[in-house]
């Protein structure tokens, strides 16, 4: 069992990271830490993808020295996915940060539970 995990160390690590990120995003009340959690979660997926695309002893999939043979390069698709994914996660992060700033300016807190209480009180008056 443990040997299996060690053999696929990248996958193991990325799954652990995914779990950490997911839990943080779900459970942590602090908005900034939630965003960090989201980034950890996304990054874990990218690590996973990159590890899957990597083939030991091969080159980056950028054509160099005129080598046409595909077997000289690693799988380019995961790298492409990771790049796209990074773009997506950057924009999501930006949006969430912007929202966080808005909420902080309004309620002076980063704690989501506290903000929700304040919102409720605001609604009552």
Q: Which is nearer to other proteins, 10 or 59 (CB)?
A: 10
Q: Which of 84, 86, 76 is nearest to 44 (CA)?
A: 86
CA distance 119 to 125: 10
At its nearest, how many Å lie between other proteins and the CB of residue 108? Answer: 12
Beta strands, E only, the chain: none
Q: CA 78 to CA 86: how far, in whole Å? A: 12
* Residue 118 is a binding residue for other proteins (CB under 8 A): yes
Kindly state whether residue 90 participates in binding other proteins, applying the rule CB under 8 A: no
- Which residue, 62 or 65, has its beta carbon nearer to other proteins? 62
Closest CB 13 distance from other proteins, rounded Å = 14
Is 31 a binding residue for other proteins by CB under 8 A? The answer is: yes
The reply to whether 67 sits near other proteins by the rule CB under 8 A is: no
Two structure tokens written together for 81: 């996915």
């Amino acid at each position: 069992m443990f040997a299996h995990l060690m053999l696929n160390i990248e996958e193991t690590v990325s799954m652990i990271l995914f779990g950490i990120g997911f839990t943080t995003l779900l459970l942590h009340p602090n908005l900034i830490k939630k965003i960090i959690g989201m980034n950890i979660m996304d990054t874990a997926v990218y690590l996973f993808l990159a590890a899957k695309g990597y083939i030991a002893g091969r080159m980056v999939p950028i054509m160099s020295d005129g080598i046409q043979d595909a077997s000289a390069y690693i799988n380019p698709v995961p790298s492409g996915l990771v790049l796209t994914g990074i773009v997506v996660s950057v924009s999501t992060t930006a949006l969430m940060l912007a929202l966080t700033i808005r909420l902080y300016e309004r309620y002076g807190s980063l704690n989501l539970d506290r903000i929700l209480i304040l919102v409720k009180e605001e609604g009552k008056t």
